[in-house]
A and B are shown apart, each in its own frame.
Chain A
Amino acid sequence: MKLEKKNVGLHKIIKIKAMNKIILFFGAWVMLLLSSCENSNTNQTIDNTDTIVDTTENIKSEVIFQVPSPDEFISLLKNSKANFKANITAPEKTNFVEPAKQKLNLGVYAADMAYLATFNKFQETVRYFSKVKSMSDQLGITNAIEKSTFDRLENNITNVDSISAITNNSFYNVIDHLQQNDDGLTLAYISTGGWIESMYIAFQLINKFDEKNPIVQRIASQKVVLENLLGMLETLKDKSETEAIRNNLTSIQAIMNQITSKIDETAPQAQDTSKVIIGVKTIYSIDNETFTKLKQTIEKIRNEIIKQA
């Protein structure tokens, strides 16, 4: 009996060891399966998340056009001694149904938010931030702007640098999200809306035309940004829905092509030799007629964008 009991005990030990091996074997298989699934998912993620990423590895060369965020241009306007003007931003109560309009207006509101933040209009900035957040949600760009950002904004309501940093970072998250998800179309719409609104704001900050006015010079310098915007849209020309905005930007380009530029011979040479300075200081030549035509065209396109359908 004792021997039998001992044998049963041994059998149990052998069975447990065998079970352990089976568990280890299956465990290893499950992990391998999981890893291969994860790998294929990751590869898909790579393929889906980057604009310049291949899907078939056939893409050998490509051209990508990027444009700066609206706050870049607006901060330059402030540095050019521009004064704040109230009631020039797009009405934030408007709601848009059509996806193209939603995307364009997300860009418009982001530019307005940057304008208000740059000129330290805290309460208004929070209102426009709320609009940018709700429109991002509407477009399915969830998680790009976290709910906790509101709390951070409210806690820093009087801190000039923080409010700008928080709102700008939120917009950068939206752009990053689109880049990671290879949504070039939405990115192009938002960039176009943002650029048009920044230009509109710049024109509103000029009281009287003077070619030498730094803000006029800043506007003229945007010719190169427009070229990149058109380049960005050119890569999407197979998407017929972009035709309307391409036509609008082409009409602006036709006017901006009348702006000429020359090297500023009077610009003093750089004293700081530790810095690498690239390019040459440029003066833009724009007459009153071209300026007015450009202003009117920008206003017309901008008003069309912000009009509720």
Chain B
Amino acid sequence: MKKLAYLLLFVPFFSIGQNCSDFLTVQRSGIRYPWKYDIQSKSAVFYSGKSSKLNIICNEGKDYNISFLVSSQIMNEVSIKVTDNTGKVYFSTGIDEELLKTIEQKKQFMLSLENQKVKIKTGKKKVELDASINNLKLEISKYQDEIEMKRYRPSTSFQFTAASTMELIVYVTASEKCSGKGCVGVLVSNKPSEKSSF
């Protein structure tokens, strides 16, 4: 009978595990005065390679808080970016594909420099190549640290004041490497901005 009891206990959890529609409901109830829920919030299911572009409006004279909630199954495989309509990035998290590309390019360049170095025995050119290789190593290490930092200690919210009524674009992308399915929620809340800011 114990087995039956275990089954009864766990089945409901398996069956509700993938429902994203309720993903924001609990978080919404946690918003406290003077902050208030913004109906532009959105949640959805994400899987390998899926990307979404969420266009929201921020009103002048209001403070905004955008919180990002990601299921544990896909937490390390989701990247989020907030930009305006000119492409200026205000917030980013998760795997930065651009940064990964930059690292790869720099690694390739470093390899080509090392190949050149093999052919040169001594002289000024060799010293220059060594310096360039060392600089590249430092840059690559710095970018890799950035990626690791974002991977293991990701920011989960972004707070700001809108100086004018403007459109913000929230990009959510699940990496191609993402093996599972999970929910991503973008919870928007706002409050009147204190006038002392302007």
Give me the interface of A with B, judged by CB distance under 8 Å.
20, 24, 27-28, 31, 34-35, 38-39, 41-43, 45-46, 49-54, 57, 59-69, 72-73, 75-76, 79, 161, 165, 168-169, 171-172, 175-176, 179-180, 221-222, 224-225, 227-228, 231, 267-268, 270-272, 275-282
Contact = CB atoms under 8 A, between A and B. Distances in A.
A105 B69 CA distance: 34
Interface of B: 1, 3-4, 7-8, 11-12, 14-22, 24-25, 33, 36-40, 42-45, 47, 49-63, 84, 90, 158-168, 190, 192, 194, 196-198
A48 B63 CA distance: 33
Contacts of A68: 38-40, 57, 59
B53 A35 contact: no
A79 B159 CA distance: 22
A271 B55 contact: no
B90 A221 contact: no
A276 B160 contact: yes
B11 A224 contact: no
7 contacts: A20-B1, A24-B1, A52-B42, A63-B52, A72-B59, A176-B25, A275-B197
Given A68-B57, A270-B197, A28 B15 contact: no
B164 A280 contact: yes
A14 B90 CA distance: 72
Contacts of B19: 42, 45-46, 49
Given A49-B21, A54-B50, A165-B36, A79 B196 contact: no
A60 B49 contact: yes
A168 B161 contact: no
Given A24-B1, A38-B12, A59-B50, 13 more contacts: A38-B15, A46-B21, A61-B53, A63-B52, A64-B42, A66-B40, A221-B165, A224-B165, A228-B57, A272-B197, A277-B163, A279-B58, A280-B163
Nearest to B10: A35
A50 B57 contact: no
